[in-house]
Structure 1
Amino acid sequence: LGRGLGELLRELTIEQKLQRVVIAGGDTSSHALGQMGVDALTVRMPLPASPGSPLCVAHSRVKTIDGLEVALKGGQVGTDRYFCAIRDGLGD
């Protein structure tokens, strides 16, 4: 499931020129990132209300993935506003 999600998300990111994505599910996230070609992540913006799920920047040899903003949401992490905060670029 994670690999399929990653393949789909990579294609959507490239086709739609997405600048920010969210992947939900802890184990799913790691498999999806691998399929997307993400080599590393750095923290761009912590979300104090959701420790452990910051907004990150992807580093990749794939030009269209490099610099992509990525948020990884584990199952038990984050408030009810998590997805809205990521969409809107809010720190809380």
Structure 2
Amino acid sequence: MSVPDDPNQTPRAVASSPEVVPLRSPWAMSFWDWFKGLPAAGQVAIAAVAIVFGISLLNTVLKLVAAVLSVAVLAIILYLLYRRYLIDGGSSSDG
């Protein structure tokens, strides 16, 4: 069953084409349907929990970044002190 090519027909996107991306994944659509089925109080409660969870996650990530930066600064300071007093200090004669 082959269909002849019609030059006036607009090309259709093929589902297996990499250019065609669904707007939402199936689990996101099913979650959205479930969320919309909740009463208003339930939607507010779920949104509040999501906001608290998001802020907590952001707080944790920022604390982790601050800790990594603190360790990096401490390592640089210790390296500079090591170089100044142990490596350079042993080769110089002060008198």
**TM-score tier after normalising by the smaller chain length:** under 0.3
TM-score, normalization: structure 2? 0.22
Higher helix share: 2
Between structure 1 and structure 2, the one with the greater Rg is 2
Q: Whose RCO is larger (CA < 8 A, sep 6+)? A: 1
Higher strand share: 1
TM-score, normalization: structure 1? 0.23
